[in-house]
Amino acid sequence: MSRDPGLQPERTALSWQRTGVATLLVAGGAAAAAVHRGELLVVGAALVVLALAAVTAVPPRQPPGHASGHAPSHPPAPPYARLVRAAVATAALAAVGVLLSMT
């Protein structure tokens, strides 16, 4: 496989970028809402989620393909850990949202 005409890696990277930006936007909105309420505890929780979202948004380091002598067609890096991180960030944001609607 020389060059994928469907630009699959690029599309996947852009999909991650959209998701990361969306997570950061929602986290920022939740933090702003918490500040507006003056709920210090919720502000802290929102800031923690914001940090988590930032970690998820940053792309992982590329594996050293040349150093380990992989063929160019080796399978893509498993996305599971990053996917779970994004889910944890989303669930934590949901918890902040529930806190906001209860206070």
Partner 1 sequence: MSAEPASQGSRSADTRRPRSVYGFGAEPDPRFSMANERTALAWMRTALAFVAGGVGLTSVARIAGLSRLMDVVAAVLCVLGALLAVVAVLGWRRRELAMRLERPLPAPVVLPWLGALVAVVALVLAGYLAVQTR
Among 2, 3, 6, 40, binds partner 1 (CB under 8 A): 6
Alpha-carbon gap, residue 39 to 29, rounded angstroms = 14
Query: How far apart, in whole angstroms, are the C-alpha atoms of residue 95 and residue 97?
Result: 5
Is residue 93 within 8 Å of 27, Cβ to Cβ? yes
Query: What whole-number distance in Å separates Cα of residue 96 and Cα of residue 17?
Result: 23
Query: Which residues in 30-69 contact partner 1 (CB under 8 A)?
Result: 30, 33, 36-37, 69
Binding site for partner 1 (CB under 8 A): 1, 4, 6, 8-9, 11-12, 15-16, 18-19, 22-23, 25-26, 29-30, 33, 36-37, 69, 71, 73-76, 78-81, 83-84, 86-87, 90-91, 93-98, 100-102
